Amino acid sequence: MQRTKCWVCGSSDSVMERSSRVEGSVTSRDFAITDHRYGVTGTLFRCHNCGFLQCEDTDDVLKYYVELEDQAYEEGRDQRALQAHQLLQILNRHAPTGRLLDIGAGSGILVEQATALGYEAEGVEPSVWLQQKATERGVRVHLGTYPHEKVLPGFSALTLVDVIEHVPNPVDLLIQTAKDMADDGAGIVVTPDVRSAVARIMGRKWWHYRIAHIGYFSRKTLLLSLEKAGLTPVEWGRPRWYFSLDYVIQRLNLYLPSALQLPVMQFMRGVTIRLNFFDSLYVVFKKRPSK
């Protein structure tokens, strides 16, 4: 069978690293943001040239996102707002004002936070259900995919938070962001780091191995993707994440035998936990200066 070219470097030299662990037919439920079946992926191939890891048997994924509904995602809105605010504070150091576009905006949590910080913010989201949730809150999120006919170029700030691991064309996506950025604009991309210490220690049980994640970046392949898109990194780091205590306990129990599982109590929903496993990357980028 002819191998699909690497989505990052374009090489055709790859090897299968792990076979599919998907059982039965794939549905939109498998692509829920809060999906808990860690370690379940399609067949993964590693590029010999750059090391990028990609899933080639589930690359036509848009239809699943259009039909996606995720009530648990909305229930964690307060915690996700803290995550969004943290990332916006980072981006604010490089693009403090102006128009902001959030690509893969979900129910508009980051757009809502950006508006509160003074940005003229909007987003794009393919899920009909999530976009409707944004509309109900009066948040400007366009239904569809990026690029979008209602999205005009000239953005001072762009955000791609946990997006590029979901698409089979990450470099093309970054090229389009470069086209839509103002010359002095800045963007931030966030994605899991498959070469992080935690990912290597957890192996197949790493929580970012999921059906919805079809591309797995390291710092090397993320920086290579930005370079190929004509973008220059200006800051990078490891973002923190915020979760309700009940969510953390529920996810911890997935790794524990039944005899050791912890009880989940009602009061835990009101307790927020800040975590950093240092297994995700953020990179702030700008356009490469013209020669």
Rounded Cα distance, 153 and 89, in Å? 23
pLDDT classification of 59: cutoffs 50, 70, 90:
low
Whether 9 is covered by a domain: the verdict is no
Domain span holding position 71: 14-240+276-287
pLDDT score at 1: 47
Would you say residue 2 has pLDDT above 80?
no
Both 181 and 73 in one domain: the answer is: yes
pLDDT score at 218: 98
Q: For residues 229 and 189, is the Cβ–Cβ distance under 8 A?
A: no
Both 47 and 67 in one domain: the answer is: yes
Whether 115 is covered by a domain: the verdict is yes
Whether 217 is covered by a domain: the verdict is yes
CATH number assigned to the domain comprising residue 52: 3.40.50.150
Both 160 and 250 in one domain: the answer is: no
Lowest mean pLDDT among 53-62, 97-106, 128-137, 179-188: 53-62
pLDDT score at 291: 66
Both 283 and 146 in one domain: the answer is: yes
pLDDT classification of 22: cutoffs 50, 70, 90:
confident
pLDDT score at 272: 97
Whether 227 is covered by a domain: the verdict is yes
Both 122 and 186 in one domain: the answer is: yes
What does the mean pLDDT of the chain come to?
A: 95
Whether 77 is covered by a domain: the verdict is yes
Q: For residues 53 and 216, is the Cβ–Cβ distance under 8 A?
A: yes
pLDDT classification of 60: cutoffs 50, 70, 90:
confident
Both 209 and 280 in one domain: the answer is: yes
Whether 5 is covered by a domain: the verdict is no
Whether 129 is covered by a domain: the verdict is yes
Q: Summarize pLDDT for 202-233 with one digit per residue, the tens.
A: 999 999 999 999 999 999 999 999 999 999 99
Both 91 and 44 in one domain: the answer is: yes
Both 210 and 266 in one domain: the answer is: no
Q: Summarize pLDDT for 149-193 with one digit per residue, the tens.
A: 999 999 999 999 999 999 999 999 999 999 999 999 999 999 999
Most distant pair of Cα atoms in the chain: their distance: 64
Question: Is residue 241 classed exposed, middle or buried when 0-12, 13-18 and 19+ CB atoms within 10 A define those classes?
Answer: middle
Both 56 and 156 in one domain: the answer is: yes
Both 65 and 172 in one domain: the answer is: yes
**Residue in the block written with tokens 């259009």:** 66
Dihedral (C-alpha) 107, 113, 119, 120: value to the nearest 10 degrees? 30
Would you say residue 58 has pLDDT above 50?
yes
pLDDT score at 142: 98
User: How far is CA 51 from each of CA 6, 9, 13, 163, 218, rounded to the nearest angstrom?
Assistant: 9, 9, 10, 19, 8
How many folded domains does the chain comprise? 2
Both 185 and 200 in one domain: the answer is: yes
Q: For residues 99 and 118, is the Cβ–Cβ distance under 8 A?
A: no
3-state SS track over the chain: CCCCCCCCCCCCCEEEEECCCCCCCCCHHHHCCCCCCCCCCCCEEEECCCCCEEECCCCCCHHHHHCCCCHHHHHCHHHHHHHHHHHHHHHHCCCCCCEEEEECCCCCHHHHHHHHCCCEEEEEECCHHHHHHHHHCCCCEEECCCCCCCCCCCEEEEEEECCHHHCCCHHHHHHHHHHHEEEEEEEEEEEEECCCHHHHHHHHHCCCCCCCCCEEECHHHHHHHHHHCCEEEEEEECCCEEEEHHHHHHHHHCCCCHHHCCCCCHHHHHCEEEECCCCEEEEEEEECCCC
Rounded Cα distance, 288 and 230, in Å? 5
Whether 247 is covered by a domain: the verdict is yes
Rounded Cα distance, 273 and 248, in Å? 8
Both 141 and 249 in one domain: the answer is: no
Would you say residue 290 has pLDDT above 80?
no
